[in-house]
Structure 1
Amino acid sequence: MKPVSLLFAFAMCAAPALALSHDIRGMVKAPTSVEINKRQCETTSCMGFGWKSGIHCGDGNFGCISGNAYQVGDKMDNVCDYGPRTSCRTCGKLDCSSS
C-alpha cells in the first residue's frame, strides 16, 4: 500500500470519529460540586425536636449526636444523619463565620 493511500484511509476513518466526539461533548453533563460532595444521609434515632425543615447541627439532645449534621424533611417526621461536620464540632453551627 502506498503511503498516500494509507494516509487517506486513516483520514477517512478518523474524520467521523472526530466529528462524533465533537458532537457529543456538548451533550455530556459535567457533575457540579454539589453532586461531587453529596453524602449519604443515614437513618437515625435523632428526633430533631423543635427543628424546622432543613439542616441542623446535633446538640446532644433527643438522640442527636453533638457535632453531627442532621437534615429534617419537609413533613418534619423524618430526620437523617450526615455524620460529623467540622463547623458543628467547632462552634455548634453550620457556619462558624457568623458567630
Structure 2
Amino acid sequence: MLKSYYVYIMASGRNGTLYVGVTNDLLRRVYEHKNGTSDGFTKKYGVNRLVWFDETPDVAAAIRREKTIKRWPRAYKLNVIEEMNPQWRDLYEDIVG
C-alpha cells in the first residue's frame, strides 16, 4: 500500500494567523489542531481551519516542501491558499466526507 504525506496550511481565519505543517495522517492531525489536543502554537493562537494542503508519496519531498513554504514571505503563502481555496473554506469538512 502506497503511503501518503501531506504538507498543509492551517489558518485562524481569512488572512489570519497561519501555521504550516507536515503529517502522514491529515485527518488525525487536523482533528488534533481543531480540538486543541496538544499545547502549542495552533492552540495558543486559535489556528484551527485547514485552508490548503498538498499530498505526496515521498516523505522527504513533503518535509522539503514544508521547510520551503515556512521560509516563504507571508504574501506567497496567501497566494497559494487563494489559488486552491479562494473562499478560505475549512477543507477539513471536504476530506472528512
Tell me the TM-score range normalised by the shorter chain.
under 0.3
Question: Larger C-alpha radius of gyration, 1 or 2?
Answer: 1
- If asked which structure has higher relative contact order (CA below 8 Å, sep 6+), I would say 2
Q: TM-score, normalised by structure 2?
A: 0.26
Higher strand share: 2
Higher helix share: 2
